[in-house]
């Protein structure tokens, strides 16, 4: 698993079967299947992220190097963290966002992500938050890199 | 307060914004991702204001804050939960007096009164705050006169919509959130540039049945689906219809298979 910025899209591989090779700014390499409509959409999204210098959250199969999950981290500040009595998650208020965001207590990295979010709230520093596509469940939190050279302000 | 417009003009401005709706699978820029209701309303509202101002209108915005819960067939779990929401407003002349109407294609198919807009968001105690159109984010008091942040945020949510539509949930609308209307035999999903066959059996042969395939996934700009109907006399009394649907576009499309019995 890597949260990393896509750098370039290269031609189809030859000896290893059909593939679009993706190289990330971190140096990691991954593949997409050009025969999969879903992967072709992912390639378009990765190109869009590369062009706008935005990060990507990807999960990569360590055996095949194919990307198995692509999500979009977003830069937020943490306005509040609310404990939900008897609930299996905590609610996180992010800015700018009007969605309700949830950090599941059952997530294996709950403690680590909660600590990062709480520190960002106290220190008013931005974080990169990644959520699942079908809900507002937080799956990854990282300190946001400097905005130097980025388009977003 | 800006001058009032007629309801007809408000509908025209609504249509102006709604015509920019994103095809959920391709989301070509500069479309507006109304079909991704989860997040990004502030960017959608700012872009809609830009479009209306360019058309000579004088919109404002209304911000609602509360424990908002909105049923939506454009989210796979059918429920959108917000802490706040924003949309453009217009003053509309209703029987000689101005009333605030909201332009919000993510929730409605036409302009609605501010009271109606508030009423469907699940929190009668929610507070409303008006602002001028140039306010980008109410609680920071920020503006975005160059629309650079608006465009960046719209690009993010276009990509979100695109990823969701390419995934296992497929493109909106999500038929598990919908009540099947009368005259709808089935909901289907067909991949881009594909042809697929469905059949439906047990129809009395004495009935004159006509079939219609209606795309449910919005994607303005070109024809999406075509279909052929073949019939099999499966018994002395009943028929089976074989319906071949062809997707003329490159995008996945959800559709309704409709029938009408003429006799």
Interface pTM, i.e. ipTM: 0.89
Q: What does the alpha-carbon distance between residue A3 and residue B44 come to, in Å, rounded to a whole number?
A: 27
Q: Is A153 in Cβ contact with B192 (below 8 Å)?
A: no
Q: What does the alpha-carbon distance between residue B216 and residue B22 come to, in Å, rounded to a whole number?
A: 13
Q: What does the alpha-carbon distance between residue B44 and residue B106 come to, in Å, rounded to a whole number?
A: 9
In this structure, how many other beta carbons lie within 10 angstroms of the beta carbon of residue B117?
A: 23
CB B144 within 8 A of CB B152: no
Q: Is B82 in Cβ contact with A99 (below 8 Å)?
A: yes
DSSP string, B69-119: EEE-TTSTTSEEEEEEEEEEEEEEEETTEEEEEE--TTT-SS-EEHHHHHH
Looking at chain B, which residues constitute the CATH 3.10.620.30 domain(s)?
7-166
**How close A71 gets to chain B, by Cα (Å)?**
8
Q: What is the pLDDT of residue A3?
A: 43
Which of B38, B41, B45, B139 is the mutation pick for testing A, counting most A CBs within 10 A?
A: B38
Helix B148-166 × helix B41-54 angle, to 10°: 120
Question: What does the block give as tokens for B52?
Answer: 């209306």
CB B156 within 8 A of CB A54: yes
pLDDT in tens, chain B (263 residues): 899 999 999 999 999 999 999 999 999 899 999 999 999 999 999 999 999 999 999 999 999 999 999 999 999 999 999 999 999 999 999 999 999 999 999 999 999 999 999 999 999 999 999 999 999 999 999 999 999 999 999 999 999 999 999 999 999 999 999 999 999 999 999 999 999 999 999 999 999 999 999 999 999 989 999 999 999 999 999 999 999 999 999 999 999 999 999 97
Q: What SS3 class is residue B10?
A: helix
What Å distances lie between residue A16 and A66, A92, A151, B52, CA to CA?
Answer: 12, 43, 37, 52
**B70 has which bridge partners?**
B80
Q: Is A98 in Cβ contact with B83 (below 8 Å)?
A: yes
Nearest to A63, CA basis, from A109, A95, A16, A111: A16
Q: Which DSSP symbol is given to A99?
A: B
Which architecture, in CATH terms, is A74-143?
A: Beta Barrel (2.40)
Nearest to B101, CA basis, from B109, B93, B111: B111
| Longest Cα separation, chain A | 56
Which architecture, in CATH terms, is B7-166?
A: Roll (3.10)
Q: What are phi and psi of B58, to 5 degrees?
A: -125, 75
Looking at chain A, which residues constitute the CATH 2.40.50.340 domain(s)?
2-71, 74-143
Question: Under CATH, which number does the domain A2-71 receive?
Answer: 2.40.50.340
CA dihedral of B118, B123, B126, B130, whole degrees rounded to 10: -20
Report residue A17's pLDDT band, with 50, 70 and 90 as the boundaries: low
Which of A46, A57, A67, A133 is the mutation pick for testing B, counting most B CBs within 10 A?
A: A133
Q: What is the pLDDT of residue A152?
A: 42
Q: What is the pLDDT of residue A148?
A: 59
A139-152 pLDDT tens trace: 999 999 876 544 44
A68 touches chain B (CB under 8 A): no
Residue corresponding to tokens 């067909």:
B190
Q: Is A49 in Cβ contact with B163 (below 8 Å)?
A: no
Nearest CA in chain B to A42: B163
Report residue A2's pLDDT band, with 50, 70 and 90 as the boundaries: very low
pLDDT at A4 exceeding the cut of 90: no
**A38 has which bridge partners?**
none
What Å distances lie between residue B183 and A151, B118, B180, B203, B258, CA to CA?
Answer: 50, 32, 8, 14, 6
pLDDT at A12 exceeding the cut of 50: no
Nearest to B130, CA basis, from B138, B140, B122, B121: B138
pLDDT at A104 exceeding the cut of 70: yes
Q: What is the pLDDT of residue A16?
A: 59
Nearest to A53, CA basis, from A125, A129, A149, A145: A149
Q: What is the pLDDT of residue A136?
A: 80
């Amino acid at each position: 698993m890597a949260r990393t910025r896509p750098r370039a899209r290269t031609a189809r591989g030859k000896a290893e079967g059909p593939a679009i090779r993706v190289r990330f700014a971190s140096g990691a390499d991954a593949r997409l299947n050009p025969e999969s409509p879903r992967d072709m959409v992912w390639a378009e999204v990765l190109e869009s992220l590369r062009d706008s210098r935005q990060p990507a959250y990807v999960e990569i199969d360590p055996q095949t190097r194919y990307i198995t999950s692509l999500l979009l981290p977003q830069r937020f500040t943490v306005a509040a963290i609310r404990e939900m009595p008897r609930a299996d998650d905590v609610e996180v208020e992010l800015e700018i966002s009007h969605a309700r965001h949830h950090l599941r207590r059952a997530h294996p990295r709950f403690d680590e992500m909660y600590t990062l979010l709480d520190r960002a709230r106290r220190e008013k520093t931005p974080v990169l938050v990644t959520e699942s596509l079908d809900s507002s469940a937080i799956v990854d939190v990282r300190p946001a890199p400097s905005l130097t050279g980025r388009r977003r302000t | 307060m800006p001058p009032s417009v007629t309801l007809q003009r408000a509908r025209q401005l609504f249509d102006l914004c709604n015509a920019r709706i994103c095809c959920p699978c391709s989301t070509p820029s500069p479309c507006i991702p109304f079909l991704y209701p989860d997040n990004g309303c502030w960017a959608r509202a700012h872009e809609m204001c830009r479009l209306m101002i360019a058309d000579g209108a004088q919109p404002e915005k209304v911000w609602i804050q509360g424990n908002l819960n909105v049923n939506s067939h454009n989210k796979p779990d059918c429920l959108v939960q917000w802490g706040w929401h924003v949309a453009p407003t217009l003053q509309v002349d209703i029987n000689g007096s101005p009333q605030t109407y909201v332009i919000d294609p993510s929730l409605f198919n036409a302009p609605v009164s501010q009271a109606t807009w508030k009423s469907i968001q699940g929190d009668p105690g929610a507070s409303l705050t008006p602002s001028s159109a140039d306010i980008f984010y109410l609680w920071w008091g920020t503006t975005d006169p160059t629309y650079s942040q608006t465009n960046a945020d719209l690009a993010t949510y276009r990509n979100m919509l695109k990823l969701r539509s390419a995934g296992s949930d497929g493109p909106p609308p999500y038929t598990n959130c919908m009540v099947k209307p009368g005259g709808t035999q089935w909901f289907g999903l067909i991949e881009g540039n594909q042809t697929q066959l469905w059949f439906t059996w047990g129809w009395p042969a004495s009935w004159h049945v006509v079939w219609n395939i209606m795309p449910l996934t919005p994607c303005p700009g070109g024809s999406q689906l075509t279909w052929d109907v073949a019939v099999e006399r499966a018994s002395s009394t009943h028929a089976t219809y074989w319906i071949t649907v062809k997707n003329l576009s490159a995008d996945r499309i959800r559709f309704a298979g409709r029938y009408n019995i003429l006799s």
